[in-house]
Amino acid sequence: MSVSYRQPGVVLTDRRFTVPLDHADPTGETIELYAREAVASDKADKDLPWLVYLQGGPGFGANRFIGRPAWFGRALKDYRVLLLDQRGTGASTPANRQTLPLRGGPAEQADYLAHFRADAIVRDCEAIRPQVTGGAPWTVLGQSFGGFCTVAYLSLAPEGLSAALITGGLPSLDAHADDVYRAAYPRIERKVVAHYARYPQDVERARRIADHLLTHDVVLPNGYRLTVEAFQSLGIMLGGGEGSHRLHFLLEDAFVRTANGHELSDAFQEQAQGLLSFAANPLYALIHEIIYGQDARPTAWSAERVRAEFPRFDAAKALAGDEPLLFTGESIHPWMFDCDPALRPLRETAELLAARTDWTPLYDPARLAANEVPAAAAVYHDDMYVDTAHSLATARAIRGLRTWVTDEFEHDGVRAGGPRVLDRLLALARDET
């Protein structure tokens, strides 16, 4: 039963749907999807077109907005919005260390999670669209990985779309995960160098913390083992508009003097564990690399292997000399399944996914080249999470796609830019600019 309720300026309705786990087997096992329908309170009785929002990730549920902030308020001027918790996320049937053992052992868990890529998410959208819109096509807004899903949507079921809007999420159509990370590490280094140029005092602070972690066994209050590699992974913050400032504030008071000498402060440890733990979003760690799997080549812990090609990221070597410590970015590594108590029980499952060789293509270049769906994409110049060159190559491969390339925002521009990013994309898709 649907339940409706109100927030300032918006009427929300909880929606639940049942879909096949494997859309190739529609009579087989099912899972549940949760979505939140939203409409402006002054338009609740109007017949409006629909916009479905696909969150970034993978493995993150849709935004839990309060009121009408950022792009959401702009969307509510024109649409009823469906905030979909993609399979395995949010209030949809969960996939985590508590629930996955219900599937059986690691092999059964890995087989289950193989159904959680962009193609399955598109099929989910098509399965629920008739129940939501009565069969009418809808507009999709895809942020980051949601953009990957949107390109898959244009490949697999363009008939379901009235328009496609993408923010920071145009994937390469054919790159292996190795190609993705070979392009990523130089971008990450540029972001770190820019951070140190803004906050030069952080060079010594980061080195001091890393040196402490190389010589001390630090376990955070939640049981997370804070290694120097884990500390470096906090560089993922540098991909957002406020990330450099947030990282600076985290580093500035990292140590406290105690009876046993200087130690990492409780405040630093509390913040670090919140940033590092995958307890709320384990699916992100489990399936992150397989979103790039499209052929018989295993992903095989690509980010970890490729990192070895960039020795400047080696913390011990940096500390042995006078080089600044380089943080890393959006990448998943096998040691995370040792450090994080939320991931430890899933280590063997992750290994099996990394070794898998039966991935099928997610995108259809021929269909994209013949695209007729109005489409627009924001491409953030030097986006730390998604390679700009890959994005622009894909943009050229999608017929009729209009791009807005900007260095005004980082990867989170659709949030940080308020209504402006969505407003610009709508104008491009509608050929109003």
Full pLDDT tens readout for the chain, 433 residues: 678 999 999 999 999 999 999 999 999 999 999 999 999 999 999 999 999 999 999 999 999 999 998 899 999 999 999 999 999 999 999 999 999 999 999 999 999 999 999 999 999 999 999 999 999 999 999 999 999 999 999 999 999 999 999 999 999 999 999 999 999 999 999 999 999 999 999 999 999 999 999 999 999 999 999 999 999 999 999 999 999 999 999 999 899 999 999 999 999 999 999 999 999 999 999 999 999 999 899 999 999 999 999 999 999 999 999 999 999 999 999 999 999 999 999 999 999 999 999 999 999 999 999 999 999 999 999 999 999 999 999 999 999 999 999 999 999 999 999 899 999 999 999 999 7
CA 21/CA 83 separation, integer angstroms: 20
Instruction: Report strand pairing: 375-380 vs 161-167.
Output: parallel
* Peptide bond just before 345 cis, omega within 30 deg: no
The region that residue 140 occupies, defined by phi over 0 for left and psi between -120 and 50 for alpha, beta otherwise, is beta
- What is the residue-wise DSSP string for 284-330? HHHHTGGGG--SSS---SHHHHHHTT-GGG-HHHHHHTTPPPPP--S
Instruction: Classify residue 2 as left (phi > 0), alpha (psi -120 to 50) or beta.
Output: beta
How many residues would you count in the chain?
433
Backbone φ, ψ for residue 108 (5° rounding): -65, -35
Three-state SS sequence of 31-99: EEEEEEEEEEHHHCCCCCCEEEEECCCCCCCCCCCCCCCHHHHHHHCCCEEEEEECCECCCCCECCCCC
Both tokens assigned to 125: 């959208």
Q: How many CB atoms lie within 10 A of CB 169?
A: 27
Q: What is the pTM of this model?
A: 0.97
Q: Which one, of 332, 328, 330, lies nearest residue 289 by Cα?
A: 332
Return the C-alpha torsion angle 39, 71, 180, 298, nearest 10. -20
Distance CA 175, CA 376 (A): 22
Alpha-carbon dihedral 112, 113, 115, 120, rounded to 10 degrees: 140
- Would you give the DSSP letter of residue 27? T
Rounded Cα–Cα distance for residues 236 and 233 (Å): 6
Q: What is the pLDDT of residue 1?
A: 62
Tell which residue, 178, 162, 180, has the closest CA to residue 170.
Answer: 180
Q: Lay out the sheet containing 50-54: strands in order across.
A: 3-7, 10-20, 30-40, 80-85, 50-54, 138-143, 161-167, 375-380, 402-406
Closest listed residue to residue 289, CA positions, set 173, 143, 179, 124: 179
Task: Measure Cα distances from 170 to 126, 163, 375, 376, 402 in Å.
Answer: 21, 15, 12, 10, 12
What is the CATH architecture assignment of 3-173+363-429?
Answer: 3-Layer(aba) Sandwich (3.40)
Catalytic residues: 144, 358, 411
Domain ranges of the chain: 3-173+363-429, 177-355
Q: What is the C-alpha separation between 116 and 21, in angstroms, rounded?
A: 9
User: Which structure tokens are listed for 101?
Assistant: 């053992």
H or E segment and range at residue 143:
strand 138-143
- The amino acid at 382: D
Residue 55: what pLDDT? 97
Pair 275, 234: CB distance under 8 Å: yes
What is residue 2's predicted lDDT score, i.e. its pLDDT? Answer: 78
